[in-house]
Amino acid sequence: MITASRVFLIVMGLGFIVLGLNGLLNPLGHLAPYGLDYQAPGWMGEIRANYGGMHIGIGVLTALGAVHYAWRRNALALQLVFLGGLAVGRTLSVFLDGMPPTFALVFIAIEWVGAGLALWFLRSSN
């Protein structure tokens, strides 16, 4: 039987892997919606590492939590901390820096909901 927490981890894992592949293979396109155009080799490496490799790694670890029960709580904790950190950072930026593009507001909502679900699944799995 597939549980709600496993579905959550599968969806989040695949989402992070897809975002990571885009950041790794198409770094300029990945940042284009923000109006950013960093083409210097140092910036390209940072984009590929942070939006590419890191997101793929988080996606793989999250997906492993859906497959292996022993990893499930760690994968949920990873999602709580990572999504929570992104949500706090983006929300703070709204207040300090101004309103971002609409798609960034969608990311904020997804991150808050994802962090909340991860917390709920962690608490309900005791």
| CA–CA gap between residue 12 and residue 76 (Å, rounded) | 10
Cβ proximity of 9 and 63 under 8 Å: yes
The reported pTM is 0.86
**Which pair of structure tokens corresponds to residue 110?**
């997804």
Mean pLDDT of 70-90: 96
| CA–CA gap between residue 42 and residue 47 (Å, rounded) | 9
Mean pLDDT of 33-52: 81
72 vs 32, more confident: 72
User: 18: pLDDT confidence band, cut at 50, 70 and 90?
Assistant: very high
Q: What is the pLDDT of residue 34?
A: 77
Is a pLDDT exceeding 90 seen at residue 31? no
